[in-house]
Amino acid sequence: MSGWRHPDLGQEVDRSKRLRFSFDGAPLKGFAGDTLASALLASGTHILGRSFKYHRPRGLMAMGAAEPNAVFDVTLDGRTMPNQRATLTQLLDGMQVRSVNTGGSAARDPLGALDLLHRFLPAGFYYKTFMAMGWMRWEPMIRRMSGLGRVDPGWHPPANAETANAAPDVLVIGAGPAGLAAAKSAAESGRVVWLVEEARTLGGAFRWRGGQIDGADWTEIRDATVAAIEAAGGRVLTDTTLWGAFDHGLFAAWQRHPDAPDIHWRLRPRQTILAAGAIERPMWFAGNDLPGVMSAEAALHFLILHGAVAGRRMILATSGDCAYPVAGALCSAGVEVTLADLRSQTPHAPEGVRLLRATRIEAARGYGAVHGAVLNGEFHTADAVLMAGGWTPSVQLHCQAGGKLNWDEARDVLVPRPGTSTLVTVGAANARYDLADVLAEGHAAGGGSGPAPRPTLETHWSFAPLRPDPALKGPIWVDMQNDVTLKDVSIAAREGYTSVEHLKRYTTLGMATDQGRTSNFAGLSAMAALTGQTIPETGTTTFRPPVQPVPLAVIGGRRRGALFNPPKRLALEGSHRTAGARMREYGGWLRPAVYGEGDEAALALEEARTARATAGLYDASPLGKIEVLGPRAAELLDFTGYVRMSTLRPGRARYGFMLSETGIVYDDGVVLRLAEDHFVLSASSSHVAGVILKLEDARQDRFGCDGVVIIDRTAYWSTLTLTGPAAQSVLKRAGLPDAGLPHMSVTETECDGIPLRIARISFTGDRSYEISAPTRRAAELDALLVQALGAEGGRRIGLEAVMLLRAEKGYILVGKDTDGVTMPHDLGWVASRDKRSDEFIGKRSLFTAEARRSDRRQLVGLVVDDSRGVLPTGAHVVTSGSAPRSQGFVTSSGPAPGAGGSHALALIEGGLSRMGEVVKTFHLGAIRQARIAPACLFDPAGERLDG
Amino acid sequence: MQIFSCPFCGPREEHEFLFAAEAGKVRPEPAEQVSDEDWAAYLYHNHAPKGASREVWYHQTCGTYFLMTRDTVSRDVEGSEFLPGAGA
């Protein structure tokens, strides 16, 4: 190919603005308004990339989203965007463009030798060869040899794409002739129309084919459409890709902005008109993938819009009338054109064009670039070969929306079956190519009254359908990007992969970034021919979003980094930070892990020891505070809980579990009974939403919402927990009423006008007070307690210290010390199962054969006597013998701040009846002995709770 | 993205909802008289109908459990109603 720039043509480039860029290191020039594709075409660069599998040289073949070959990594201002499509990327000054999937540059690729082997690398070669030889070993090498652009790991695109919603009356997809006509008639009837166009300018094929409508240039209907849309309150979005149709009429669109963050639109129109146009089919002959073999329509597009011309001596192969104006335009631009038409009955040749009738193209010849083509057995020299093989309507969005296709024999296409999706398809997407039909169809779909716009010159294009011919010699490419040849389709058929879905997966046909725009029809029609089926019998593969590659950064929008899953924040975060807290997420809440500088494990142990010696204060605000109120509150909690709460006296607290109906422990926590008809359920901080779900389920479904309500007041109350032997002294010093609260009781009181709820319950094994104040008064409570705390030698402690304290006491965390099969009796809580005669959630599941097995994994402690430190969490307890088997695992482990040494909790088969047994533990190859002990190591008699 | 109708809040996007259960299941009780088979059927045997279906869903933002009649193939939502005895 010897591409060049026409001196006059190129209506969308600004020749006063020269831009510099480089391709594989070579400096090149273009103009403002160029795409990378047009600038490279005009520069005469032949080879733009290498094919995926065989590393064959490939050039520019198509335009827009159909282009399979020209995919680049583009670096600008030090940022590399991988896999940019040349036909859709606007040229900017200073762009450094690199070809992808090349060993060096596109022009000189050391892996190009693979091409010589390609007859030995047919479809399925990698599967067949390397699966038998150990795929894992070969996969990295195969991956290196193929693949597209390289991600720059150092650059994180900003999370700044906004997501926005809109619900227009009418959404028109595509602003070509049909889309403009539809949008205009819809807007003129007063409806809110959103017109979405992928290109930066409106007009579609009008832009390069031109046209006179109702006696005026086509730009008049364009301007009238925009005016009508804006007058009716609609919008025109250019440079916007409508990339997916989803359930219940939702569409997603990616709007690009050169100087501002992109916008991701979620559109729910009342009516949608699809005017996405059609894509020119390639033709199938040997060497049809050589650089310089190109779509005729694309050649016209680049000529008119950018003045970029593919060559000086071209062969245009066709079987239809629509290529004739292309030949004429190229000829007027100074190109020597030979038009090879398969048909014997043809229109007249445009002036200056050499027309060969009944002529078939059999092969393109050349090495690295096309040198000519074989027409009816005779070689003709050319520096570009253009193909006009008919049209494939862009029906993806119709199909994504659930639409079916009809086979239209006369027009040789699959077209949307009307009424099978909510979209109305018009224009070339509906296989209408004559401009009068296109405009009339668009006008009608938009609900237009009165006459439709009419072209000044009527066209009636006829054509002869083309099919891949397996009898032709040489490799005939079907899918350029994924290197699928006609022979590969035959192999798939021979090996039984005749379904189009199997064909796709076996050969990777249509799975590349161009989504098979130029290849799917060829693959499917070839398979139909090989299996003797019709095209409707062969069917199509399923169309799924996205229609085109969309950056994940756009779909993700702002939901990244700190906004990906924002943690809940404590009201007292500021005072914790002032005290030196290291904040960390626990169960969705940002909480203090430890306080101060230095080694975290050492700090946590020191904090825990202080709490055991005097007093510790920690923020327990995330603990659920779910209020259950009403005359039937006790009855509800009896049903939803494993432990009965109706027998709890007001002012008292009781520990219990919530099970799922499968009998598995879902959550644990303390229930406070404030009054006969008023309970507070302390759900685990990460389970609050789930516990409410179960409570509401019972309330609404079983109780019929009668006699009980549930209110989540977790955020209303902030809770500080004071624990340790000096806890009571701190409380008194702070001036808070103690009221002689016994263990497991609760009181509602106040101090200095701050309403308080004080519960004496313990998660550490020491005397503890959970003191709750309304969140807006939490700072006052915090100040009172911290001052008194210091005077008694206590300190703030973080969650890491709390974890050490609770673990040595054998207090569990559901989900950490239990798993998806743990039932309450596995934790030693058997009384409810054995004694309760009333119904409760999960009850029946506690009596199945599985639930009664004696070798269930049960929670126990594990003590190590060696001097090798803490037993790792996750270590397995294994059987002895030559084939050891896991009997369970360590769930929590750490130093024991009160008891000394270390302590671990573990779920072990039959553990509760194996006290004192010495077992083997295994972790990362290391075997250690450990002794099964009660889960509670510290103060087993519970004297300190009342101390 | 489907649009479901909460009887309390009206039409909302599907990510606000959670599926709860197929409608019409009755919890077998008392536990002492329920066979393993009947309990397993209650817990695990679902019809998962292709086409018309009646299900209990939960609207997370308002906390309402409700009955929804919809078509699992066409995705048409025919209607929503409060659970019996609720919502008044």
The answer to whether the beta carbons of residues A38 and A90 sit under 8 Å apart is no
Q: Which of A413, A411, A33, A429 is nearest to A242 (CA)?
A: A429
In chain A, which residues have their Cβ closer than 8 Å to the Cβ of B22? none
Say whether A700 and B83 touch across the interface (CB within 8 A): yes
Strand partners, A860: A906
Q: Is B83 on the interface with A (CB under 8 A)?
A: yes
Here the tokens at position A77 are 């201002």
Q: Flag whether residue B2 sits within 8 Å of chain A, measured between CB atoms.
A: yes
Q: Is A662 an interface residue toward B (CB < 8 Å)?
A: yes
Residue A852 contacts B, CB cutoff 8 Å:
no
Residue A762 and residue A944: Cα distance in Å, rounded? 10
Separation of alpha carbons A512 and A67, rounded Å: 11
Closest residue in B to A250 (Cα) is B1
Return the amino acid letter for A18: R
Among B2, B28, B36, the residue with its CB nearest the CB of A248 is: B2
Residues 6+ apart with CB under 8 A from A190: A232
Contact between chains at A696 and B63 (C-beta distance less than 8 A) = yes
A389-423 residue pLDDT tens: 999 999 999 999 999 999 998 899 999 999 999 99
- SS3 of A83, please? strand
Helix ranges (DSSP H) in A532-660: 535-538, 552-556, 573-578, 600-613, 633-640
Residue of A nearest to B42 (CA): A661
Where does the pLDDT of residue A460 fall: very low under 50, low under 70, confident under 90, or very high at 90 and above?
confident
Cα A14 from Cα A9, distance rounded (Å):
11
A419 interfacial to chain B (CB closer than 8 Å): no
Percent with pLDDT over 70 in chain B = 95
Q: Do B58 and A845 touch (CB under 8 A)?
A: no
Percent of residues, chain A, with pLDDT higher than 70: 95
What is this structure's pTM?
Answer: 0.88
Cβ of A850 under 8 Å from any chain B Cβ?
A: no
- Whether chain A has a CB inside 8 Å of the CB on B31: the answer is yes
Give the pLDDT confidence score for residue B88 in this predicted structure: 45
**Angle B60-B63-B67 (CA atoms, 0-180°, nearest 5)?**
90
What are the residue ranges in chain B where pLDDT is below 50? 87-88
Min Cα separation B55/chain A (Å): 13
Contact A414, A390 (CB under 8 A): no
C-beta atoms of A704 and B43 within 8 A: no
A661 touches chain B (CB under 8 A): yes
Kind of pairing, strands A616-619 and A581-586? unpaired
Q: Which of A110-114, A532-536, A751-755 reaches the highest mean pLDDT? A: A751-755
Q: Which residues of A521-533 are buried (b: 16+ CB within 10 A; e: fewer)?
A: bbbbbbbbbbeee
- Using a CB-CB cut-off of 8 Å, the residues of chain A touching B56 are 701
- Which residues of chain A are within 8 Å of residue B27 when distances are taken between CB atoms? 702
The number of beta carbons lying within 10 Å of the beta carbon of residue A331 is: 20
Rounded CA gap, A683 and A690, in Å? 9
Q: Does A849 touch chain B (CB under 8 A)?
A: yes
pLDDT tens string A675-696: 999 999 999 989 999 999 999 9
* CA A483/CA A477 separation, integer angstroms: 7
C-alpha span between A89 and A314 (Å, rounded): 27
Q: A245-282, pLDDT tens digit by residue?
A: 999 999 999 999 888 999 999 999 999 999 999 999 99
With a cut of 0.85, is the ipTM above it?
A: yes
Percent of chain B scoring above 90 in pLDDT:
92
Question: In the A/B pair of chains, how many CB contacts fall below 8 A?
Answer: 54
Q: How far apart are CA B9 and CA B17, in angstroms?
A: 12
Q: Give the C-alpha separation, A49 to A57, whole Å.
A: 6
Among residues A152, A37, A54, the alpha carbon closest in space to that of A102 is found at A54
Find out whether B80 and B67 touch, Cβ atoms under 8 Å: yes
Question: How many angstroms away from the CA of A174 is the closest CA of chain B?
Answer: 23
Residue A145 pLDDT grade (very low, low, confident, very high; cuts 50, 70, 90): low
Closest alpha carbon to A423 in A570, A303, A246: A246
Q: How confident is the model at residue A152 (pLDDT cuts 50, 70, 90)?
A: confident
Q: How far apart are CA A522 and CA A490, in angstroms?
A: 12
- Whether chain A has a CB inside 8 Å of the CB on B41: the answer is no
Average pLDDT over residues A203-213: 95
What stretches of A453-513 adopt beta strand conformation (E)?
477-479, 484-485
Q: Could you tell me which chain A residue has the CA closest to the CA of B73?
A: A402
